[in-house]
Each structure stands twice: as structure tokens, then as C-alpha cells.
Chain A
């Protein structure tokens, strides 16, 4: 399969890329890792007339801790997130997530910015970023604006980004001491999208009382879902087998899966319940390390 014809543009700076987006309007698409866009073009699910390749813009790929945030450049490859010691040690939920995205070859090209901006509810980073309370940096003609991740996913394949904005950075607040997180995914085979997946991030005090918790869910609704009922229930409670079981039941209630080739909706709700339990338990283990 060969994609439909398009013109290829290779800007060298972010302002140049933004000008090209303005010039070509809705008919232009940003090409980042291309691991979702190129297959979609082959299947004629996307037919942009202009591809604006941002891979030659310097300083868009980085992972660093700065001013209380983990900052990840939009063009950072999944493979580099997977192998980052900083991420493995301080943001294990993010390491877990990158590790199960597609397969090693795809991760060598796929980018975190693309994973989020594509806004496929089956993508893995959105749930994790919801659990971590991340912020998206959108760069446009008038400079940067910060979009809280909870406001970023508008509908399927649609984000709060304006057409002439580029996702240039993800910011994750550095969790306080006593925090841990984990991502659990069930997939039919390596490289498949999640049948369901759950990200959990929790902060505990010395007595095991939950000071803060974030739970995000993958591919169980038209957009990535934050399990607000489950989060509200856990906050301020001691995390025990009983409270975790109740939170998992509530998370399954927050999920809105539909039946498809990966299984009936009821099965996916049952998966969410079990995966939430496992993710919270692993998060607690890591918080205590």
C-alpha cells in the first residue's frame, strides 16, 4: 500500500513549521514519528495534501528535570523514554507505558508528542499523563500556552490544539516523596492496541494514608478516561485490600467501553477492575521503596 499523493515540506524551525500550517490550513498535517499517520494514510483514513515533517527541527527531543517538572520534548522517541534512567527511577509508570507501546522498531520512530496529539483513545500515554496530572505545551504564532492534560482530549482523534499549534513539550510535576506509579495493559499480542489498560499514580504518607491519587484508563471509551469516582473515593483513605477493591470496582464503573473484536464491553469492565487493582498495588510497592 502506498499513501495518496501529498507535498512534503521540511521546516528547520518551529516558527517556520507554524507558518506552513497557517499557509496550508486544514489540508496540512504535522509528520512526527509517522507510526500512526503513515498507516492511516495507506488506509485512506487520512489524506493530507501537505505533510510538514518536524523531524529536522533541532531541540525538540529531550528528557530533563527542571523547576519541579519532568520535561519531555514533543519529538522524543518512545525508545529513548523506555531507556531513560531518570524516567525509570522517578517516573516508573511512564517507563512501564513506553515499554508496552507497539514494538521495539515502532518505538524507535514513534514520538511521545505524536502519541498524545493523535488522540487515539487506544494510545497508551494519555492514560498515564492523566494519572500523572501532566501539562501539554502548545506552541503557536503567539508563543507557548499550557493545556492541562484533563482538558486536552476533546473527542476521538481531536485535541484542544489549534490547527496552527504544535505540541512541543510535555511537563509532568515531579511527585512528592512517598509516591509510586504503574501501568498495566492487556493486549492480544505484542504491538496490538490495549484491550484495556490502567495507569495509577499514588502518594502515601507514613501511615499508608493516600494523600493523592491519579488513575487513567486506555481504550475503554471515546477518549482516554480519568477514573474520577475511584480517585475521589481513595483520597484520604488508608490503602487496604478492601479500599483498593472498592476503588477498582468504581474505576470499572467510570469506564465506558464498547464491544468490538477485542472483546465484549462487560469483559473490558472486568479487565479494568483487575488492572486497577494491580496498578494500585504496584504503585504502593514502588511508593514504599
Chain B
């Protein structure tokens, strides 16, 4: 049996730690040791982006990173979006603009959107399509996802100026 490793992360602003086998993937660490199942396992081969989370602010595919590699990092998952019972503008945008149908890709889409809007509050349609190019959606045709992210960008800018 391989040696287990103690992994400690900041997960949505809360400390979380567990002992894991080196082969445990970050997505399983999040879903199984922290019980946060909003992060989905889709293709499991870094194609679909359903498992996207933010690692120190950058979107990555958590099916293709070992949990031990994330030791000491700051992670944000879809559960980290809502604050004080209020939907995050990105969640509100997906609701208002019908940015989902089956919803499977949505957590990953929202994490890619969060990283984009953090860097670029006023993205063009091209910027948005670049940012979600690693996230597959088989329902919407992407139009409404783009609109949802534009909605969130506007809302976040209003929030910042208010």
C-alpha cells in the first residue's frame, strides 16, 4: 500500500483536510471527503470541463489533478458562489437568461465564468467564448450561456459602482 498523504486546503473559504492515497483525484477529494457534490464528473479525461474548479483563482479540471498536488491551495467550487442566501450574479445570470437545460455542465461553466469576470469585468462575446472553450454543453448551443455571463458581468459592474 502506498503511503497516504495529509492534504489541507482552503475550500470556499473554509479549512478542509483529509488523509488520502496519492492516486485520489482532486474531484473525488472534493466530492467524497468534503461532501461537495456540485462539482461534476463528466468525461473524466479532461475534455468536458464539468469538473472545473478554481485553484488559487485559476480554472482547472479537477479530474486531472491529484488531490496531493492541491495541498496548501485555495479552492473555489460552485458551492462557493452563493453568499448570505443571495445568488451570485453568475447564478442569477444563468437563471434569468436560461443558461442551462439539463444543468450538468453548469457548475463548470460558472467556475470558468467566475475566473473570466474576475480578470475581465467587461468581456466581449469572443472573450466569453474563449473562456468557456474548455467546457462542453450538449443542450443549449451556448447562446444563452454567453448571455448569462454577459448578464453577470453587467450586474457585477453595477454592484461594484453602487
Contacts and interface: CB of A to CB of B under 8 A. Distances in A.
B134 A105 contact: yes
A61 interface: no
Nearest to A109: B60
Interface string B11-35: 0000000000111110010000000
Interface residues of B, number: 31
A34 B49 CA distance: 16
B2 A38 contact: no
Contacts of B133: 103-104, 190-191
A90 B81 CA distance: 40
Interface in A2-47: 2-8, 10, 31, 34-35, 38-39, 42
Contacts of A57: none
A102 B134 contact: yes
Given A2-B25, A7-B3, A106 B44 contact: no
A79 interface: yes
Contacts of A39: 45-46, 64
A34 B64 contact: yes
Interface string A97-114: 000001111101100000
B69 A34 contact: yes
Q: Which of A5, A10, A104 has the most CB of B within 10 A?
A: A104
A51 interface: yes
A1 B44 contact: yes
B91 interface: no
A104 B68 CA distance: 22
Contacts of B5: 8
Interface string A177-199: 00000000000001100000000
A53 interface: yes
7 contacts: A3-B23, A6-B2, A34-B64, A42-B44, A104-B112, A105-B60, A108-B58
Given A2-B23, A191-B47, 14 more contacts: A2-B24, A5-B1, A8-B68, A38-B64, A39-B46, A53-B68, A79-B58, A104-B112, A105-B46, A105-B49, A105-B60, A106-B46, A108-B55, A191-B134
